[in-house]
Amino acid sequence: MSGLNPLNEVVPFQTKFYWASLGDLSHLIPIVRKLRDSDQSDVVISNRGGWQSPPYNRGKVAELDPLYDIVYDYVCKAYAEFGINKQPKDGGYWVNINKKYDYNISHNHPTAFFAAVVYLKSPVNSGTFVMERPDPLDDFMRIDQRNPNNFCTWSVPTDENKLIIFPAWIRHYVEQNLTEEEDDERISIAFNFG
């Protein structure tokens, strides 16, 4: 193989996601449980089991506005990183409460540029957040050894107080909650920004 010129690598397309630890958010858990307990709607989008709230916008639930503002500031950083020279538009947010065996199927957020999720409560074995590769690589190649060039999914632990921001076109799902306790809940708040 001697005599070959160097093989140059170019990465023209990247898919980035971002995450941050937000500090203790446990004071929000009673607020979102109260929303659930007072809600009569039956919203089913990607959730299989569990409760998903109707969509809210900033100002609808005053106690959640400070969290919204923190998420918004982080999303502004993601916009700048992507070269989007405008302020994010409020695309709504909603609460997810998943008990044992509940999960969210693969989906994306077609009306948004970026989506975000904050985990308020995430017991042991309550599932991870999984992003799917946005191209059909697995349909075309048999991969012998997985590495960053050919991953088809990327799992992100759903740690409590964690914020995850990702491009809204990326399909993603949340694994089944398999906690030990029947009534132990994974609680998150998801956001859309356009």
Look at residue 131 and tell me whether its pLDDT is greater than 80. yes
- pLDDT of 115-127, one tens digit each? 999 999 999 999 9
pLDDT level of residue 1 (50, 70, 90 thresholds): low
pLDDT of 6: 92
User: Which overall architecture, per CATH, does domain 18-134+151-193 show?
Assistant: Sandwich (2.60)
Which tokens belong to 32? Answer: 């979102």
Mean pLDDT (whole number) for 19-29: 98
φ/ψ of 77, rounded to 5, equals -65, -40
H/E stretch holding 31: helix 29-38
Phi-psi region of 110 (alpha: psi -120 to 50; beta: other; left: phi over 0): alpha
Give the C-alpha separation, 125 to 112, whole Å. Answer: 30
- pLDDT of 73-86, one tens digit each? 999 999 999 999 99
pLDDT level of residue 38 (50, 70, 90 thresholds): very high
Alpha helices (H) along 43-97: 65-82
The position carrying tokens 């993603």 is 172
